[in-house]
Structure 1
Amino acid sequence: MSVRGIRGAITVDVNEEQTILQATVELLNGIVTANNIVPEEICSVFITVTGDLDDTFPARAIRQMGGWELVPLMCALEVPVKGSLEKCIRLMLHVNTDKTQKEIEHVYLGRAQALRPDLTKA
């Protein structure tokens, strides 16, 4: 078994608490489903948001999900590069898995698909 990183990102239209929390859950559920993982297999989750999303901590959404209470979570601000994608939530899950890096499915939703079109499924 190895530790692998699984990436994902999603965008929201507005800087509102419920919108941010719902998008975070949608993204995390997409990653979990695509990779067939359970919280017990997750070492940690690193969460970043762009500076225009400051209405809540996305980690709150994950902490409220059943089975995720003990998973270490960390929120941070994304590097504010001029012209970069706005209103974006990014996740990096560190997971114990038997999958190879090639077998890992990264999940990019909404306008975040533009970040990694090479990894976005049609």
Structure 2
Amino acid sequence: MIRGVRGATTVELNDADEMIQSTAELLSEMIKRNNINAEQVAHVFISVTNDLDATFPAKALRTFSDWTYVPVMCMQEIPVTNALSKCIRVMMSVNTDLSQKEVEHVYLREAVKLRPDLSLTNKEQ
């Protein structure tokens, strides 16, 4: 079954190094928590808010061994008034036996505000 694994994080600055590092941290957590390997992944979409244009955050995934052939696309989020700024979001389509409830979506830093209902603390209750 193909499942969507979601994640998001924020950065302090519109800085290429910080964007790559934060995206790599987010992707690593998504992969670890859901026991994902590259061969299971159909594609990865990464979006950024319009205040982030220093680099393509997909470059972070290219530093992971065995992820060379996973299709990745970057795009810009729609600019919604009062939305969380400096935010990087990921949607990974994964072939997995996990049920939708078992998938662990990952929200780091200020992005926790996006889906507090899916935080690990709430899932454990």
TM category, shorter: over 0.9
List per-residue Cα deviations over 1:8-34 (Å, max 9, x = no partner): 000000010100000010000000011
Whether 1:18 aligns to 2:20 is no
Identity %: 52
For the residues of structure 2 that align with 1:85 and 1:3, how far apart are their CA atoms?
A: 28
Q: TM-score, normalization: structure 1?
A: 0.97
Structure 2: segments with no counterpart, 5+ residues? none
Equivalent residue, structure 2, for 1:113: 112
> How far off is 1:63 after superposition?
1.4
Deviations 1:71-106 (A, max 9, x none): 000000001001000000000000000111111000
Matched, 1:64 2:58: no
1:49 matched residue in structure 2: 48
Deviation at 1:64, TM superposition (A): 2.2
In structure 2, how many angstroms separate the alpha carbons of the residues matched to 1:46 and 1:109?
17
Q: How many residues align?
A: 121
Equivalent-residue separation in structure 2 for 1:14 and 1:121 (angstroms): 27
Distance 2:80 2:24 in 1: 26
Give the aligned CA root-mean-square deviation in angstroms: 0.6
Normalising by structure 2, report the TM-score: 0.95
CA distance in 2, matches of 1:16, 1:46: 20
SS at match of 1:32: helix
CA displacement, residues 54-83 of structure 1 (integer Å, 9 cap, x when unaligned): 000001111122111000000000010010
Unaligned runs of 5+ in 1: none
What residue number does 2:93 align with? 94
Once the two structures are superposed, what CA deviation does each residue of 1:20-51 show, in whole Å capped at 9, x if it has no partner?
00001000000001101111111100000001
